[in-house]
Amino acid sequence: METIHLSKPLNIKGENVQDITLDFDKITGRVMMELESRCRALGDGTPDLTFSMKYQALMAAKAAGIKYDDILDLGGKDATLVFSAVKSFLFQPASEEKPDEAKD
């Protein structure tokens, strides 16, 4: 889990929230495919959706348990922090093992 401390509170369901916690353990392959379908329905034609800000916003919303529109309402500085966390998740190495430590 990654907690993003917002520079400006975000109003979610009538409550001012200062932190957003992204729980990427909520993201399964099935969820990623559902987010892909939703992103395409929103008109995103990006060939590789890992580079799509819409896809990243959808994923952030899912990981945080909030609405997509709440992510879109973040200020630029806070949105950049959230998108950066999503990118770190999406582009993490497939293995933490170093090549010379690989097992046969």
Q: What is the pLDDT of residues 78-87, one digit of tens each?
A: 999 999 999 9
DSSP 3-state of 69: helix
Predicted confidence (pLDDT) per residue in 64-76, tens digit: 999 999 999 999 9
Considering its fold, how many domains does the chain have in total?
Answer: 1
pLDDT at 20: 94
Give the residue numbers spanning the domain of 56: 2-92
Return d(Cα 79, Cα 83) in angstroms, integer: 6
What are the structure tokens assigned to 7, written together?
Answer: 């520079």
In a domain, 69, yes or no: yes
Closest by Cα among 51, 58, 43, 34 to 87: 51
pLDDT at 101: 56
pLDDT band of residue 14 (cuts 50, 70, 90) is: confident
In a domain, 97, yes or no: no
